[in-house]
Structure 1
Amino acid sequence: MDKELYLIEYLKVPVQVIPHLTEEILLSSFYNDIKENFKLKIVGANRKIRADLPNNLEVEYLKCTPTTPMLEVQQVTYLNNGLLLNMFVHVIRMVKGLSLFIVFIMLIK
């Protein structure tokens, strides 16, 4: 498998919504945990897609230049109890395929 990095995901999750959230849950069964342990459902999401230039972290990890256009997908997800579940941003280097990614997690207090 190709070991080159093509995508970085930034994920923000309010800790009061999912108080026992761990890195293990985020990397394996985040949405399943919400459904099974909290009995909550995702009922909506707002998504924005745009092109942007990479920041320094993205230049380093995606091995691109500061002027390489990146596809950025921003999404805010809501639960059936009206609370914001998360906000994520995918920054994608425009190439033929996607194989590996890094997740940067920011818990919101």
Structure 2
Amino acid sequence: MADSANQIQLKKGALELCVLALLARRESYAYEIASTLAAGVGMGEGTIYPLMRRMQDDGLVDTRLAESSSGPPRKYYRLTPAGRAAFTAQKREWRTFADAVNELLGDTR
């Protein structure tokens, strides 16, 4: 079943937060991030690479190249201090927003 326009917009809005959350756990390369997001929230791979470039340009992530036994070297991403601060702020904003929506829906826990 194809995603509705609402689902697509929700996913796009949460994408950076999800990437920050994954990188807060450990460094990773873009394909691994994309695969994890595809399995977890159904996010397509094509959206990850432009986001990773933007996050690097914004100083949220640093990169390093590492040899790979299964092909060319991989570019690994890790959070910078600014990326960790952005993750903390975005996580707080997400929880506040989600709590407000859940309250409106009558879904308080």
What TM-score comes out, normalization by structure 2 length?
0.25
Higher RCO (CA < 8 A, seq sep 6+): 1
Greater strand fraction, Structure 1 or Structure 2: 1
Greater helix fraction, Structure 1 or Structure 2: 2
What TM-score comes out, normalization by structure 1 length?
0.25
